[in-house]
Structure 1
Amino acid sequence: MAERAHYPDGAPCWPELTTNDLAGATRFYQRVFDWSCEDLGRHLWHYTLCRIGEAPVAALTPPAVGMEGVAPAWTTYLATSDIEASVVRVEANGGKLVVLPTALPGYARFALAADPDGAPFGLWQAAGHAGAALVGEPGAMCWAEVHSRNPMAADGFYEALFGYEREQQGDGVDFDYVLMKIRGTAVCGRLRMPYEAAGEVPHWLVHFTVADCEETTARVVRAGGEVLISPFEMRETLVAYAADPSGARFAVCQGGG
């Protein structure tokens, strides 16, 4: 298994779903990914930890007080070794700080932000919990990418935030995709949202590895979710986009990310 105990600054390290229907989301993702889920409510605010075996791979949580009307969504957390410096760079480069650095006792300090295009994301400074302890295995995160309407602004913002090296994919016109790298290794991506996605808002999309993309999309439907884009080939990987019953979007990948 691809076990992880550390993430470099800027690498997606932890996926977390915020939902108004915690019980329903727990049932859905257990059916789709075979996760075991533990409600840590006796210690935290009904924070549900999702595992494959003993390895934590994701979390489900209700919205914070005062944010109950926010649409359910997956948040991609990016690792940082200095969350205070990171939030300063967020605001200095046109982003918006949504939640100040906050302690998740025994796990991390986290903050929530939005890039200049409005795409929400998180910052995660480990304090006993580096993030997903397993990657690239069925049910675990394998990739994350930001879908942006203003790719030049997004590229400049994330480069200033984490010093990513950029590698252009496609022609930058009909298909504009950038791999964001740390010391030569691609850790996440940026996609210019296609014109036909006019009704969508900029967002980060988390991808989970599955053994069989077709079988997993069938599970999504049986569990009450929706397949938004049927399996397609992307960088030698079979990918599908889906949404859970509350509308939170995610992707599944057969063959990695």
Structure 2
Amino acid sequence: MYGEGVPCWVDAQLPDVEAGKRFYGELFGWTFEDWFGSFAQALKDGEPVAALVRKVDGRLPSVWTVYFATPDAPALARRIRDAGGQVVSAPVPAGELGVTALVTDPEGAVFALWQPEDHPGFGKRHEPGTFAWVELYARDTEAANAFYGDLFRDALFGPDAEPDFGRAAVTDVFSERMPPHFLVHFAVEDVPAALEDVRRLGGRVQAPPFETSYGEVAVVTDNQGASFALLRR
């Protein structure tokens, strides 16, 4: 079970889940279990690592969303609202799997909450083809550090903290016009080789490889426009 504030799941909202399965299946070696018709759970070596979900509204962007674990999604949603964030979608049960909510921080960066029941989150992470890190690109990094430091203090700064979550200025990598957002990183063994695969599969490179405090990173988009990063530590 993941502690409150630990990234515990990611999903991609896509217009075409079947096309997503082909892209990510070849890029990361994922296999898939189809749930509920419009939802495919991705597996790596038989363990759950992500999900692909069909967008219900074509006007919404194709995006990867990170979920932070919590034992009480309604309580955490209230704390987020009280701290200046917004609750986009109030906590609601996802069948027997858990309770989820969609929220933003005070600058508008979107993330999700996950209160687990039958689905605890990642079965495998920090290995090639699985979740490795999430970076918040913010306009005001000091304000972001204060907001998340208060919200997820134990996960970020507690004695057992092993953070998979960093904060950086939007302009470090992106145009100043880019809104604040979370960027999900997946581990790879070789970033240039993975970039070749992304291009071959119909994706594109948004930011070529660069060095960070947590490893070599490149930012890409898939063949449907959802952005994510490749990370080699």
2:11 is the alignment partner of 1:7: no
Q: What residue identity is the alignment partner of 1:181? A: F
2:99 is the alignment partner of 1:109: yes
Q: What residue identity is the alignment partner of 2:30? A: W
Map of 2:210 onto structure 1? 232
**In structure 1, distance between residues paired with 2:12 and 2:90:** 19
Q: Which ranges of structure 2 fall in alignment gaps of 5 or more residues?
A: none
2:30 is the alignment partner of 1:53: no
Does the aligned pair in 2 maintain the 1:32–1:220 contact within 8 Å?
yes
2:18 is the alignment partner of 1:41: no
TM-fit CA distance, 1:164 = 5.3
Q: Which ranges of structure 1 fall in alignment gaps of 5 or more residues?
A: 1-5, 166-179
**In structure 2, distance between residues paired with 1:69 and 1:113:** 19
Deviations 1:181-232 (A, max 9, x none): 3434333111111176223111111111112111111100000001112222
What RMSD in Å do the two structures reach over aligned CA positions?
A: 1.7
2:198 is the alignment partner of 1:211: no
SS in 2 for 1:89: helix
**In structure 1, distance between residues paired with 2:167 and 2:214:** 18
Within a 5 Å distance, the mapping from 1:1-257 to structure 2 comes to: 6-41=1-36, 46-64=38-56, 67-163=57-153, 180-183=156-159, 184-194=161-171, 197-235=175-213, 237-255=215-233
Aligned residue pair count: 231
SS in 2 for 1:86: helix
Q: TM-score, normalised by structure 2?
A: 0.93
Q: TM-score, normalised by structure 1?
A: 0.85
Deviations 1:3-23 (A, max 9, x none): xxx211101110110111222
Moved more, 147-156 or 24-33: 147-156
Deviations 1:33-66 (A, max 9, x none): 1100122125xxx1110001210000010224xx
Deviations 1:148-196 (A, max 9, x none): 112233222212322258xxxxxxxxxxxxxx43434333111111176
Identical columns (%)? 34
**In structure 2, distance between residues paired with 1:205 and 1:144:** 6
